[in-house]
Amino acid sequence: MDTKSPAFAAAPARVSVERVAVPILAAISVSHLLNDLIQSLLPAIYPILKANFHLDFGQIGLLTLTFQLTASLLQPLVGTYTDKKPQPFSLVLGMGFTLGGLLTLSQAGSYPLLLVGAALVGMGSSVFHPESSRVARMASGGRHGLAQSVFQVGGNAGSALGPLLAAFIVVPFGQSSIAWFSAVALLAMIILFNVGRWYRAKLADLKAKPRAAATSSTLSKKRIGVSIAILMLLVFSKNFYTASISSYFTFYLISKFQVSVQEAQIYLFVFLGAVAAGTVIGGPIGDRIGRRYVIWISILGVLPFTLMLPYASLFWTTVLSVIIGLVLASAFSAILVYATELVPGRVGTIAGLFFGLSFGMGGLGAAVLGQLADMTSIETVYKIVSFLPAIGLLTYFLPKIEKARA
């Protein structure tokens, strides 16, 4: 394994003396907010697209799958490449793809053009996430869990705001109003250009300083491989279940409780707001008590609540969705930092792999669940996916790397 990336070769020797680069961490978190706000518009406007283009649930699922596949398949490739050759201004380029996707979605007059717009937004995400995750780690000053949580909470906040803005902008003014969000993409490009300047200077600083030996894992390659596989299964569990909420929660509420489209999007916003709050909690707690314990609590601990959700009233559905979002969301930051500690020096590769897997599982979940909803009902879908968090039992087999390092 190559642990001599120019961006990180000297990092372990200086962790104790560096401080968190708060302005950069804030900037990359805000950029994540803007990026994911744009991305979350797509599932938020599904009820509008379903009515305008006479789509069935299978076509809705394919739309999500197209977006998620372009995001997921490219991310590991981007991460691996930038581990070897960091690209400070690739973040701006990625946001340019997202801008193109927005404009395409706003003007699309056919289902194939909707797929093209979704694919472009996915391509922007594939460039953004691996490099921005690297920037967050570089700005962490050694507090990797905290930095990853701050970075992630920006994305979750953006995902929560998307449905809310869709409810009050896109629903009243129609599909063409999606183009108004171009201003969001342009603002993100300005912020990311300045982040890129810091990133470039940071790389030059690291290259100019003596390199210390990078920390290597004490585990065998086989144990590392098994652990990565377990983490991927946990991400599968988390994101397959999350896809059922982000893509179909509005339809579920409309079908079961006869709420309006706008009301359903507000309930989705409440869930996604809980996800954002949970993300903040996971990283810092993982820094203190260990990522493994956070993963245990986040994945398996949510099981009783997912099992109750399909049988709850509207009030308790809202309460349970908040608890599920809060608990389940704390897992991803812990999983990502845990994985980077398993494979030191490969931040871009790990970020690309797990963000890519996250998007891929979300897309696959949306497509499969859409077909299942067409064959049965949306209520049946929620009864089936409620068992997914039981996969959290696999956490038992993860090595206690914090103790081994100590």
Is 11 a domain residue? no
Q: Is residue 6 part of a domain?
A: no
Task: Report the predicted TM-score, pTM, of the whole model to 2 decimal places.
Answer: 0.66
pLDDT in tens, 377-394: 889 999 999 999 999 999
Query: Does the residue 168 lie in any domain?
Result: yes
Tell me which residue has tokens 């989705």: 268
CATH of the domain at 184: 1.20.1250.20
Contact 21, 141 (CB under 8 A): yes
pLDDT over 80 at 98, yes or no = yes
* Any domain includes 4: no
List of residues 6+ apart from 60 with CB closer than 8 A: 46, 49, 50, 247, 366, 370
Residue 2 lies in a domain: no
Whole-angstrom Cα distance, residue 315 to residue 191? Answer: 40
- Are 250 and 46 in contact by the 8 Å Cβ rule? The answer is yes
Specify the number of domains making up the chain: 1
Answer whether residue 109 is part of any domain: yes
Task: Find the mean pLDDT for residues 330-343.
Answer: 82
113 is a domain residue: yes
**Stronger pLDDT, 14 or 329, i.e. the higher one:** 329
Whole-number pLDDT of residue 362:
64
Cα separation, 292 vs 5, in Å, equals 26
In a domain, 406, yes or no: no
pLDDT tens for each residue of 130-171: 888 888 888 887 777 778 778 877 887 787 788 778 878 887
Give Rg (Cα) of the chain.
20
Residue ranges making up the domain that contains 393: 18-401
